[in-house]
Amino acid sequence: MTIKSSNIVWHNSTITRTDREKLHQHKGVVLWFTGLSGSGKSTLAHAVETYLHKINISTYVLDGDNVRHGLCGDLGFSDQDRVENIRRIGEVAKLLTEAGIITLTAFISPFKIDRDNARKCLPHGDFLEIYCHCPIETCEQRDVKGLYKKARAGEIPLFTGIGSPYEPPTRPELIINTEKLTIEESIEEVIKLLKEKNLI
């Protein structure tokens, strides 16, 4: 990205990330949930947040639909806008991680290069990609928002999985089969990953 602003200087904080993590008593990290619409990303992200909150972990969920009501309200769903959407989320997630918070992002984020760029924003080990794997047939059967039906009717021309591609992660830190696992089993898999990484 080219920075257009001139006459700006980075200001180092007097409070470090380490200071903030000591206050929270855990490390900051990004849990990046990706998958097709209807694969269970938001449901799982919010369920994991609830679990972590109950054990006094500082968290925040960045949800795909929610950020388009504000931060990314000026963006549509063209390939270019999707790239910018994920770039912004990556930068926000980085800031929250610097604050010592466990950030859970729930975005289709269909393009591998955009997820890789979000990973590059963060120090090694601070980005955990979690692929909510679910066949498109099952996602369509769920169709909780009625989006697949609209896409099949031609009302949403660039819908991921139908009119626009989804590139599955090739080396995610975790794959969760949300077609077969219960929400409780899925939460357990995420918590297990966090413990293995000594993040909680």
Catalytic residues: 109
d(CA 27, CA 57): 9
The phi-psi region of residue 65 (left if phi > 0; otherwise alpha if psi is between -120 and 50; otherwise beta) is alpha
- CB distance 106 to 33 below 8 Å: yes
The tokens for 116 are 């890789």
Q: How far is CA 142 from CA 64, 70, 179, in A?
A: 18, 27, 10
> Which one-letter amino acid corresponds to residue 10?
W
